[in-house]
Amino acid sequence: MLYAMLAYHVEAEVTSWTPQEDAALMTELLAVHERLNAKKLLGPAARLGGTAEARTLRGPGAGMVIDGPFAETKEQLLGLYVLNCADEAEAIAIARDLRRANPTAVYEIRPIRLYLPGAALPETSNEPGQG
């Protein structure tokens, strides 16, 4: 069964990390990703831009675009994973594995009811100075 794993974090904390702290965390997370890939459990994964870059479309008709995320929360949605797990228990075990790598993150697990894979997109990085 497919699950969405939504990764929440206190954005101010994440943006306060030095490049070295961020790189160390990403090394830990990428090790988890490699283990999940080897087991064919990990689908698309994304690190989202900050809430200052978010835009929300809401309202009737063509809607109105407003700056910021849809909901103001204590922790912000900063990443997501698509996982192919046997059951909820396996999804929870993966969340625990991710949490060991990133202990200050909060992981929300939801079953995916409909998945439309679309086109396979190339791997990209929107970080300054990277491809």
Evaluate if residue 126 carries a pLDDT over 90.
no
Per-residue pLDDT tens over the stretch 72-92: 777 899 999 999 999 999 999
DSSP annotation of 48:
P
| SS3 annotation, the chain | CEEEEEEEECHHHHHHCCHHHHHHHHHHHHHHHHHHHHCCCEEEEEECCCHHHCEEEECCCCCEEEECCCCCCCCEEEEEEEEECCCHHHHHHHHHHHHHHCCCCEEEEEECCCCCCCCCCCCCCCCCCCC
Calculate what percentage of the chain has a pLDDT beyond 70. Answer: 95
pLDDT of 128 strictly over 60: no
Chain segment 49-79, per-residue pLDDT in tens: 998 889 999 999 999 998 888 877 778 999 9
The highest-level CATH class for domain 2-111 is: alpha beta
Task: Classify residue 75 by its DSSP letter.
Answer: S
Rounded to two decimals, the pTM is: 0.83
Listed range (43-47, 48-52, 117-121) with the worst mean pLDDT: 117-121
pLDDT score recorded for residue 127: 62
CB-based burial, 60-95: b 16+ in 10 Å, e otherwise:
eeeeeeeeebeeeeeebbbbebbbbbeeeebbeebb
Question: For 61, left (φ over 0), alpha (ψ -120 to 50), or beta?
Answer: left
pLDDT at position 120 is 79
Residues, the chain? 131
The strand pairing partners of 56, in sequence order, are 66
**For residue range 5-41, what is the model confidence (pLDDT) as tens digits?**
999 999 999 999 999 999 999 999 999 999 999 999 9
What pLDDT is stored for residue 131 in this prediction? 45
